[in-house]
Amino acid sequence: MEVRSLGFRTDLMVRRLAGSLIEDAGDHLIVRSPRHPTFYWGNFLLLAGPPAAGDLPRWLDRFAVTFPAAAHVALGVDGTEVDMATTPEWEEAGLVGQSSVVLTAEHLTAPHHPADGVISRPLRSDLDWRQAVGLRVDMAMSEGSTSDAHRSFLETTVAEARALSDRGHATFFGAFVDGRLRSYLGLVDDGGPVARFQTVETHPAHRRRGLAGDLVYRAGVHGLARPEVTTLVIVAESDGPAIGLYRALGFADRERQAQLERTPPS
């Protein structure tokens, strides 16, 4: 299957570099991440288009057969402008349709608000990576997610980021305030012209002080300084807190990325 969506093409690039298995089943792709089994978007089917009316049970069966131990359902929908208005059929199956914005930039504009007293640099040491886990756990707790299972999920996610970094496929940057990591992101590429941002997050107590803006700008400039990289890709929720920041830094809306998801009951 030829994937049209730049969002999914770059997701698949990251998954491949992270060691996920990608199988072409003709009218869909199967993405498996055996070392990261509870990561929904590491274990999903990518369909060539939205499920046709009456076709959803077939895809749910396909998902269940492919991922028998999964508690979630994750169906990506290829395309660049897919209408993801939830249908009664999706709603009945407990699936929520999401449509994110894929933005790109060939050059960046420096942030309007400099991040004063902040040191932004790539993560290097064991301590840096431990702080990355700590930051992600703090963020999850602030959103009410405190389970051991979620902590273990975040540890695996950061370990995967570190492995990508160690193998030279990614640089993860941190913004440090008084020596503590308060904002974090990654930029991944496979040696081709496109680099994809990952996981832009700032500690809730340190937001709106320019940390993420500084990191996206510095990481982007670092990426574009590589001769092979011409385009930066970042994905954001259309009504989320990040999209305005990305646009102000020079990213332009390019297409929409569509997903159908059913999360396990908490």
Ligand X SMILES: CC(C)(COP(=O)(O)OP(=O)(O)OC[C@H]1O[C@@H](n2cnc3c(N)ncnc32)[C@H](O)[C@@H]1OP(=O)(O)O)[C@@H](O)C(=O)NCCC(=O)NCCS
What is the binding site for ligand X (CB under 6 A)?
112-113, 183, 200-202, 207-213, 236, 240-242, 244-245, 248
Order across the sheet with 180-189: list the strands: 21-24, 28-32, 44-47, 73-77, 252-262, 96-105, 231-237, 194-202, 180-189, 170-177, 119-122
CB of 240 to ligand X, least distance (A): 5
Q: What does DSSP assign to residue 87?
A: P
Nearer of residues 73 and 212 to ligand X, judged by Cβ: 212
Nearer of residues 47 and 187 to ligand X, judged by Cβ: 187
Nearer of residues 7 and 50 to ligand X, judged by Cβ: 7
Helix spans in 167-210 (H)? none
CB of 145 to ligand X, least distance (A): 13
Nearer of residues 95 and 245 to ligand X, judged by Cβ: 245
**Hey, how many other C-beta atoms are within 10 angstroms of the C-beta on 130?**
13
Distance CA(245)–CA(237), nearest Å, equals 12
CB of 260 to ligand X, least distance (A): 19
Nearer of residues 56 and 200 to ligand X, judged by Cβ: 200
Q: Dihedral, CA atoms, 220, 224, 230, 235, nearest 10 degrees?
A: -10
Residue 76's H or E segment, with its range, is strand 73-77
CB of 254 to ligand X, least distance (A): 15
CB of 33 to ligand X, least distance (A): 20
129 conformational bin, left if phi > 0, alpha if psi -120 to 50, beta if neither:
alpha
**Hey, how many other C-beta atoms are within 10 angstroms of the C-beta on 66?**
17
CB of 201 to ligand X, least distance (A): 4
Nearer of residues 86 and 238 to ligand X, judged by Cβ: 238
Helix (H, G, I), strand (E, B) or coil at 17: helix
